[in-house]
Amino acid sequence: LNGRAAMVGFAAAVVGELITGHGPAGQLLDLLRWYLG
C-alpha cells in the first residue's frame, strides 16, 4: 500500500509538473505570488 501510494503521489507530481511547468515548490511560489500580488 505504501509503495502504491508513493507511486501515485509521484505520478501526480510529475503530471502536475508537466501541466504547470513547475514542481511542487514552483507551484507554492506561484500561489504565494498570486496571493500577495
Q: What is the residue-wise DSSP string for the chain?
A: -HHHHHHHHHHHHHHHHHHHSS-HHHHHHHHHHHHH-
The rounded distance, in Å, linking the Cα atoms of 33 and 31 is 5
**For residue 22, what pLDDT is reported?**
63
**For residue 21, what pLDDT is reported?**
67
pTM of the entire structure? 0.46
For 14, the domain range is 2-36
- 37: Cβ–Cβ under 8 A, 6 or more apart, which residues? none
Into how many domains does the chain fold? 1
In the chain (37 residues long), the average pLDDT of successive 10-residue segments reads 84 77 72 88
